[in-house]
Structure 1
Amino acid sequence: MADKDKAGRVVILAGPTASGKSALALDLAEALDGTIINADSMQVYRDLPILTAQPDAIDQARVPHRLYGFLDIDDACDAQRWAQMAAKEIDDTLAAGRVPMVVGGTGLYIRALMTGFSPMPGISAAIRETARQTVLELGPQEMHRRLAERDPVTAARLIPSDRQRIARAWEVLEETGQPLSWWQAQSPVPLTPHRFLPLVIAPERADLYTAVDARFAAMVGRGALDEVARAETQPHTSEGGGRKALGYPELAAVADGRMTLAEALPAAQQATRRYAKRQLTWFRHQVPSANFISPDLSAMKFSQSSTAQTRQKIRDFLLTP
């Protein structure tokens, strides 16, 4: 954890998918000498820039962007891994005299950055490899049953087919003798000493749903289906990673002939609307101290006056002792 004497100010701009976060963040970062740090769990994957709505090269040239499109599609990324990387990017941004602006809609990532983690044990390479080999040999269902005998709390949270998480829980048991659930119940340790200003975009639900549908159709028009088709030709080492992106399962079904595009498009739009609704609910309940802002124009856009008000709010935060 960074020294308390080095505490800085960090702006969080969160909200549901298709709510206009990226455009607003770009305007704010240009005006405030900001660096945009990605907090979207799917925008870290380089193979899916269109499907995951990553900023394009023109936008990324306007202000510095960090943690976008740097992982392979099968590379697992969880909240702890992301938060540790984001904390380093924040420190580097502050050291460069710029304003860190963490932008995204993955609430668990943002909460992890702001509150930290329970202390977790180191795992030796030998025990980690043994746990993975045991899951492969016995199968995830049998290992899930054995895990339930020793750590029923963790087992109840896991899908019996989730090899990766079952192996993780088992290796913690083997290394420490304590269940993973016990470690997770310990008081969290903050990753940084920094102060955060959380801003959450909260559009009217009907406007958000309209924006979700329009954006997904536009993604398909720009080549999202081709992205998924190329990704599907790669060897599958995991069903997680970038393959969990909104719309990926439906477009993959089109790519291999199980669905038509006419069937996949509304199905993907509906799944995305449901996810956006869950995001809105999560932020309202989990970040009640946030400053909630709403687009005052259609298509998730902000007027010059409302953007200026947000800029002033951030300036006040940066200058307040």
Structure 2
Amino acid sequence: MATEDRPGTGRDDRRPCAIALMGPTASGKTALALDWAERFDGEIVSVDSALVYCGLDIGAAKPDAAEQARARHHMLDLRAPWETYSAADFARDARTAIDGIVARGRLPILAGGTGLYFRALLEGLAGMPAADAEVRAAIEAEARARGWPALHGELAGVDPAAAARIDRNDPQRIQRALEVWRISGRPISAWQHDAAATRARLPLRVLKLVVAPADRAVLHERIARRFDAMLAAGFLDEVRALRALPALQAHPAPLDLPAIRAVGYRQAWEYLDGQGSAAAFRERGIAATRQLAKRQGTWLRGELDARRFDPAMQSAELERAIGDFLGRAATQGRPTRARVV
């Protein structure tokens, strides 16, 4: 059942409204979020783990200057690419941004595809141990020596539940799960289970929408087309500029950094290190982006209170869902103008 239809959250609910626009990469979220922000007096809160980093623009499909001029954006360019940014950091900063949007009487539009960020923002985080730089450094050193799949195997031995839902090639989540275990002696899955009932949920009435093409082949074609457009726009030059930054040149393992591990950036970095041909780099970048979309799809299928639409085929149904949520007076006579590409 959709969030706004749960008991106690119907039309008598006086909490401010927000829209959570979720979807896999290249599903058309940016165009829809911009259209809705203009039509419904909204501001966009990016829910994307790559967009928080300065310098990750072309390859992360960050809204450009023209798009940012159309609607106010939040949660962009918050950290240098050699810094880290946790889901807890995001939840704190995004809630501050949302408080400001609501205070201005505007509609928060939460748009992105990072599931952990959405979960931290909408549901709150379990009260597990904070990050420990020394423990993280030790885990990263082990990963360089043994590889992340080996550390995933270690995780499976101490926390089978967490290992079952974390991909063996997902360094950030493997690292965090092992870090929690080593600090506390308790599996991260136990922390998450125990705290599930006491999380601080976002105090808004949220319409959760998932947008994605019904045909996976359509999404795959969009991913390839967008990757080629990024290359034409100077993506490799962007990565060369990142590589020239003194802080990244001095880093002992830049590919372990969350920013550089972002899809596309890792493959570009390796290519500029001399690994493979330009054609092979393109194929690896597209394949990695498709794998990201698959992981996002798995997460989105678990969002049982979200409503799902193919924006190209179900624009009228999507419009009705927003109209029912915001009220027909807010949407009447204002058809969707977004174009999904």
Matches within 5 A, 1:128-143: 128=132, 131=135, 135=138
Unaligned runs of at least 5 residues, structure 2: 1-12, 331-341
Structure 2 CA distance for partners of 1:139 and 1:266, relative to 1, 3 Å: closer
Deviation of 1:122 (Å): 6.3
Alpha-carbon distance between aligned partners in 1 of 2:112 and 2:73, rounded to the nearest angstrom: 12
Residue of structure 2 equivalent to 1:280: 297
Q: How far 1:306 sits from its partner (Å)?
A: 6.3
Take 1:273 and 1:122, find their aligned partners in 2: how far apart are those partners? 32
Q: 1:206-217 residue pairs with structure 2 within 5 A?
A: 206-217=217-228
Q: Residue 232 and residue 192 in structure 1: after superposition, are their counterparts in 2 closer, same or farther (change >3 A)?
A: same
What SS does structure 2 have at the residue aligned with 1:68? Answer: coil
In the alignment, does 2:201 pair up with 1:201? no
Matching of residues 8-23 of structure 1 within 5 Å: 8-23=16-31
Aligned partner of 1:55 in structure 2 is 63
Deviation at 1:280, TM superposition (A): 2.2
User: 2:72 is matched with which residue?
Assistant: 64
C-alpha change, 1:132 and 1:24, in structure 2 (3 Å) is closer
Counterpart CA distance in 2 for 1:317 and 1:199 is 18
What letter is aligned with 1:170? R
Q: Distance in 2 between matches of 1:130 and 1:217?
A: 40
1:313 Cα deviation (Å)?
3.9
Q: Deviations over 1:166-207 (max 9, x none)?
A: 45543345xxxx665543332231243222110110212111
Partner of 2:272: 255
RMSD: 3.6
In structure 2, distance between residues paired with 1:156 and 1:62: 41
Supply the distance in 2 between the matched residues of 1:84 and 1:190 (Cα, whole angstroms): 11
Q: CA deviation at 1:222?
A: 0.6
Question: Structure 1: where are the runs of 5+ without partners?
Answer: none
Output the CA distance in 2 between the equivalents of 1:312 and 1:68.
29
The sequence identity of aligned pairs, in percent, is 34
Q: 1:264 aligns with which of 281, 305, 313?
A: 281
- Alignment check: 8 A CA contact 2:309 2:318 kept: no
Q: Which aligned pairs between 1:152-167 and structure 2 lie closer than 5 A?
A: 152-153=158-159, 157=163, 165=176, 166-167=178-179
The whole-number CA distance in structure 2 between the counterparts of 1:117 and 1:218 is: 37
CA distance in 2, matches of 1:131, 1:263: 36
Tell me the number of residue pairs that the alignment of Structure 1 and Structure 2 aligns: 297
Aligned in 2, Cα 1:132/1:14: closer, same or farther, shift over 3 Å? closer
The answer to whether the Cα contact below 8 Å between 1:18 and 1:215 also exists between their aligned partners in 2 is yes
1:1-321 equivalent positions in 2, closer than 5 A: 7-120=15-128, 128=132, 131=135, 135=138, 152-153=158-159, 157=163, 165=176, 166-173=178-185, 180-188=188-196, 189-203=199-213, 204-233=215-244, 234-235=248-249, 236=251, 238=254, 239-283=256-300, 285-296=301-312, 308-309=319-320, 311-316=322-327
Q: Closer, same or farther in 2 for the Cα pair 1:185/1:307, shift >3 Å?
A: closer
Change (3 A) 1:250 1:83: same
Deviates more, 1:64-73 or 1:254-263: 254-263
Q: What TM-score do you get using the length of structure 2 for normalisation?
A: 0.75
Residues 40, 9 of structure 1: alpha-carbon distance in 2 compared, 3 angstrom cutoff: same
- Which secondary structure state, in structure 2, belongs to the residue aligned with residue 242 of structure 1? coil
Equivalent residue letter for 1:287: E
Q: What is the alpha-carbon distance in structure 2 between the residues aligned to residue 185 and residue 108 of structure 1?
A: 15
CA distance in 1 between counterparts of 2:323 and 2:162 reads: 47
